[in-house]
Amino acid sequence: MIKRQIEHLSAWTAADLSKEDCVVELDDACLAYFAGVIETVRTLPVQDVELDSYAGAAVPAAIKTAKQMLDQGTGLVVLRGIPVEQWSSVDVEHLFWGIGLHLGVAASQSVMGDRLGHVVDVSDVDPNARAYRSQRELSLHHDFGDYHAMASLSLPKTGGESRYASAITVHNIMLEEMAHHLERLYRGYSLYRLGEQAVDEPVCTPHRVPVFSVRDGLLSSRFMRGFIEAAATLREQPLEPEDIAALDAFEEVSHRDDVMLEFTLQPGEAALYNNLVVMHARAEFEDDKVNDIRRHLLRLWIYAEPGRPVVPEIEVFDAPGIPPQPGRSPSGEGELLRALGASSFSRDATRSRAR
């Protein structure tokens, strides 16, 4: 357990970091670098393209800068200049995938095996879809992988703002104001596996996934409140009052107005963040599907090579990401979490628990 204040660029707050502080421009030279390769691989399925296709050319400065910011800086980058209106949708997907290739290996994001994910609301046809495929508000959390990348293609009719917070900052504040809660968070909790585990795997992790963990002197975090509560119910091992208080405290601190950064990710912008130190969320949104006004983002979960050193217990599945299972779709989460009474993915619910 780290018992000192962590002084690092990744320990930022919304009071001292803005969206513009995170911007890295994709200049003409950078786009030309990717366009040259896309011209040769355009007929291939996007997910079949490998980093070898880019061999022999110097990696653009913008990509090197983004990687440095993810690993050694704030952990949050806004890439600006993706030509979503000038390039075809296929070429934009190839560009985004190519950016990901320069950061690491993209992992499956669901049982569908989608390493290049599409974040859209499908709750009108699947009311029990996983949270990222709905329009509801999400509270701050981590998913899987070292880095996440989210590219905005289009905006909804209303809402959908992106939200971020530094888990390093949350740890610093808790150490100063409520250090007695940290031991429970370092010990961790069993997590529900989203209903996407293989047939022969347990529905919850057989090990504790630490909210905070340390390896080689570096602090990392993995926080998924709803799946902690679901696992406790399914395992018939209710959370103790001390655990609930620790989780409430973590959420209260992370959602403070001066801690959580909020902004709109405009079409043509991509947010890259170090998922081991930066949490993410979004505001509720409303699409106008009749007039084809809808929120649509591309998503990557990336395992870096080499990546931040982490304890093995931080992983929820045995393999990176969520193992593909042909014929299945990422559904059932909503119904089960509601039935179990797990916490809402709502900032308002987070604040009400803290009061």
Q: What's the token pair of residue 137?
A: 């508000």
* Model pLDDT, residue 125: 76
From the CB of residue 35, how many other CB atoms can be counted at a distance below 10 Å? 16
Averaged pLDDT, 263-289: 96
Cα–Cα separations (whole angstroms), residue 47 to 38, 235, 271: 13, 37, 20
Cα–Cα separations (whole angstroms), residue 126 to 186, 194, 241, 287, 297: 36, 16, 35, 16, 19
HEC assignment per residue over 56-119: CCCCCHHHHHHHHHHHHCCCEEEEECCCCCCCCHHHHHHHHHHHHHCCEEECCCCCCCCCCEEE
- 19 neighbors 263 (Cβ within 8 angstroms): yes
Task: Walk me through the domains of the chain, giving residue ranges and CATH numbers.
Answer: 103-354 (3.60.130.10)
* Model pLDDT, residue 330: 72
- Which residue's structure tokens are 């696992």? 231
* Model pLDDT, residue 124: 73
* Model pLDDT, residue 267: 98
Looking at residue 191, its amino acid is L
From the CB of residue 64, how many other CB atoms can be counted at a distance below 10 Å? 13
- 73 neighbors 168 (Cβ within 8 angstroms): no
Give the tens place of pLDDT for each residue, 181-198.
Answer: 999 999 999 999 888 888
